[in-house]
Amino acid sequence: MAEQQNYQSNLQELSDSYTRYNVSRIIANKKDDLLDMEVPADFSVALLENNIEVNLYSLADNSLIFSDVVKNVSGSIFIETLQYSDNSLRRLLYIDFAKVQGLDLPSGQYSVTLNFFADEIGSYDDRLLKVNRISTSRTEIELKLMDLSKQQLMTEFVLPSINSVWITDALKQAFNQSGSTTIPADNTLLTSQSIGTELPAGMEAQINQYNFESVYDISQEILNKAYIVAKEEVTKLLNENKTRFTTQTLSSIISSSLATEYETYINQNKVTVSQLPYDLVVGD
């Protein structure tokens, strides 16, 4: 299955003032916040690119009567923003079924469940995975990849990764760069003072023998130049339509750019590396 850490949101912040209901019909773990909904719902524009699965259930016995997928064609799915008297805003999603082709909805009154799916491995029209085996307990399934040329895509799907939307901001944080970021993490820049407060006892005194501020400035200079190198590599991959950056890929890009700029700095400034406590780097 997908790496769960890649699909986490702070739902508590998103829904403090709204009623929430569990909406899952297929997941056994009722404590998973990802299975909750908000009423009234607030829909993101990004959902317009997703597949919306429409399921109709009988009011009599809750059995599934109808299931099909609606795609955003001919403007059939759209979002309207409403402003209330208290100036608060709410985005509502509309589906114009009159514009949806080939959807033969049965007449009657039903309980309706809408599932939103993004194309991750294949799509509804190009299914790359098939069920290969089901466990005897009926709680696990083994999926088989139908197109071996998509092996890398599958690997990136199951490993911890950062998507293309957040990768640029992730680089900013990794290289301690300023500028607004949207990634949901602590965006505070590291300074020589903040680093000093986190050092183990005795280490700050050792570093101060060689002017901690100077060590910090040199380190940040290397980080700034390495950030430019790493950003160029990430931009190149994005232009090649790469959608995910696994821990291994991102670590490789960061390590390579740091090693390159570190060596460049040493060569340009004739720096020597002494076997000092904590492997400090100092100038001649």
**Domain ranges, ordered by start, for the chain:** 4-120, 121-149, 167-282
- Which token pair is 51? 């597949």
Residue-level pLDDT at 158: 81
Average pLDDT over residues 136-165: 85
Per-residue pLDDT at 246 exceeds 60:
yes
Angle CA(100)–CA(102)–CA(106) in degrees, nearest 5? 90
Nearest to 57 by CA among 106, 99, 98: 106
pLDDT digits (tens, 9 = 90+) for 89-103: 888 888 888 888 888
Q: Scanning the structure block, which residue is given the tokens 């190149």?
A: 236
Q: Scanning the structure block, which residue is given the tokens 């009423």?
A: 39
pLDDT, averaged across the chain: 77
Confidence of residue 39 (pLDDT cuts 50, 70, 90): low
Q: Are 54 and 64 a contacting pair, CB within 8 Å?
A: no
Per-residue pLDDT at 253 exceeds 90:
yes
Per-residue pLDDT at 211 exceeds 60:
yes
- Residue 52, strand partner residues: 70, 116
Burial 69-88 (b: 16+ CB within 10 A, else e): ebbbeeebbeeeeeeeeeee
Per-residue pLDDT at 113 exceeds 60:
yes
Confidence of residue 137 (pLDDT cuts 50, 70, 90): confident
Confidence of residue 229 (pLDDT cuts 50, 70, 90): very high
Find the length of the chain.
Answer: 284
Please give the DSSP secondary-structure letter assigned to residue 124. Answer: S
Percent share of the chain, pLDDT over 90: 11
Q: Which residue has the higher pLDDT, 191 or 180?
A: 191
Query: Taking the CA of residue 196 as centre, how many other CA atoms within 13 Å lie in the half-sphere pointing to its CB?
Result: 13
Q: Which residue has the higher pLDDT, 133 or 216?
A: 133
Q: Is 145 helix (H, G, I), strand (E, B) or coil?
A: strand
Residue-level pLDDT at 72: 74
With left for phi above 0 and alpha for psi between -120 and 50, is residue 245 left, alpha or beta?
A: beta
Decide: pTM greater than 0.85: no
Q: Which residue has the higher pLDDT, 241 or 280?
A: 241
User: Picking from 101-110, 157-166, 202-211, which range would have the lowest pLDDT averaged per residue?
Assistant: 202-211
Distance CA 186, CA 174 (A): 12
Residue-level pLDDT at 251: 92
Q: Which residue has the higher pLDDT, 269 or 34?
A: 269
Q: Is the dihedral of CA 54, 60, 62, 63 positive or negative?
A: negative
Confidence of residue 1 (pLDDT cuts 50, 70, 90): very low
Task: Return phi, psi of residue 18, to 5°.
Answer: -130, 150
Contacts of 196 (CB under 8 A, 6+ apart): 204, 212
Q: Which residue has the higher pLDDT, 234 or 178?
A: 234
Confidence of residue 234 (pLDDT cuts 50, 70, 90): very high
* CA separation, residue 197 to residues 42, 131, 191 (Å): 41, 53, 10
Residue-level pLDDT at 238: 92
Per-residue pLDDT at 3 exceeds 80:
no
